[in-house]
């Protein structure tokens, strides 16, 4: 292997980041975050809003329902938890 390809292999890739709204904070150290995305329909070309829910780890139980948060991809923490809350962007009113 060349040295540059070896360096690229050793570097960790950038983690995915999403911004969404907390829809549930009833579990201990876990928040359900809804992330909306606007995509163009392949046949009809209309913009369609799609929402996906992610289970995110919240170590300090800081996030509340309605908060806008940034979630970051992380190692699997349970069967369905693969994200953690990076920061709370805006508090719910």
Domains, in order of start, for the chain: 14-90 (2.40.50.140)
Name the token pair of 93: 């009113």
Nearest-5° angle of CA 81, CA 77, CA 35? Answer: 25
pLDDT per residue of the chain (93 residues) written in tens, 0 to 9:
566 655 655 676 789 999 999 999 999 999 999 999 999 999 999 999 999 999 999 999 999 999 999 999 999 999 999 999 999 999 998
Helices (H), 1-93: 3-10
């Amino acid at each position: 292997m060349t040295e540059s390809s070896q360096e690229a292999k050793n570097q960790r890739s950038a983690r995915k980041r999403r911004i969404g709204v907390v829809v549930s904070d009833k579990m201990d150290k876990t928040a359900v975050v809804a992330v909306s995305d606007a995509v163009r329909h392949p046949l009809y070309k209309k913009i369609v809003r799609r929402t996906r829910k992610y289970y995110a780890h919240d170590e300090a139980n800081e996030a509340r329902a309605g908060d806008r948060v940034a979630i970051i991809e992380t190692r699997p923490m349970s069967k369905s938890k693969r994200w953690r809350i990076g920061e709370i962007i805006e508090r719910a009113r």
